[in-house]
Structure formats: structure tokens, C-alpha cells
Amino acid sequence: MPTSLPRSKVKKKQTWNAESVFDSPAAFDAEVESLVESLQGIKKFQSHLGEDPNTFIEAIQAINLLSQRAAKVQVYASLSSAVDTADQPIGIILVQQHLPDPPRVFWLRPG
């Protein structure tokens, strides 16, 4: 059975292009931190969604933006975890470093 090459021995052009998502691990870390901090901004909509249509629309737009940013973080983390884990840090662990303790989920409910 053939054995896998360590990532350090694989030609760059045959690896995931993580730099197309974030320029560096530091840029990824900065976005994860910023994303987690941005979650607090959603709380301002709690108990206000039913006040008027503009508030509801603003909340949906804020959620969509956070979702897009989170998807980009998830793609980069997935690329990191899809490599030889003996040779690379796992992307999900990088994300977990930035989560609040305990992790929190914010729910929006009209009313």
C-alpha cells in the first residue's frame, strides 16, 4: 500500500491554495477574533425585531454578513484539517482558540 508524503514534501502546486482564502494564518486568526467579537453586535436586535420592518431587515443583513464571514473562516479551517494532521495544525482547533468560554449561540426571535 502506498504511503502518503508528509505535506512538507508535496509540491506547492499540488496542495490546497489556502492563501486564496486568507493570506496567512495570522490573517485567519484576526478574522476569527473579529468574527467572534462581531457576534455581540447581533444582541442589539434581541427583543426589537418586531418593532418595525427596518429593524428586522437590518438584523437579517447583519446575520447574512456574519454568515458570509463565518463561511470563509470555515473553508480555511477545512482546508487546514484536510491535510496530513501529523504535519499541520488542525484548522478547527485554531477556531476553538477564539471561542468564548463557554461558547455562546445567539438566537434572534421577533418580539
Mean pLDDT by 10 residues, the chain (111 residues): 74 83 90 89 90 94 92 85 56 48 47 40
**What pLDDT is stored for residue 56 in this prediction?**
93
**What pLDDT is stored for residue 52 in this prediction?**
94
**What pLDDT is stored for residue 23 in this prediction?**
92
**Residue 60: partners with Cβ closer than 8 Å, 6 or more residues away:** none
**Residue 94: partners with Cβ closer than 8 Å, 6 or more residues away:** 25, 28, 29, 32, 77, 80
**What pLDDT is stored for residue 59 in this prediction?**
93
**Residue 33: partners with Cβ closer than 8 Å, 6 or more residues away:** 98
- Contact indicator for 79, 91 with CB cutoff of 8 Å: yes
What residue segments make up the domains of the chain, in order of their start?
A: 24-111
| Cα 32 from Cα 38, distance rounded (Å) | 10
Question: What is the average pLDDT score of the chain?
Answer: 77
**What pLDDT is stored for residue 111 in this prediction?**
40
**What pLDDT is stored for residue 78 in this prediction?**
81
Helix segments in 16-52, DSSP class H = 25-42
Q: pTM above 0.85?
A: no
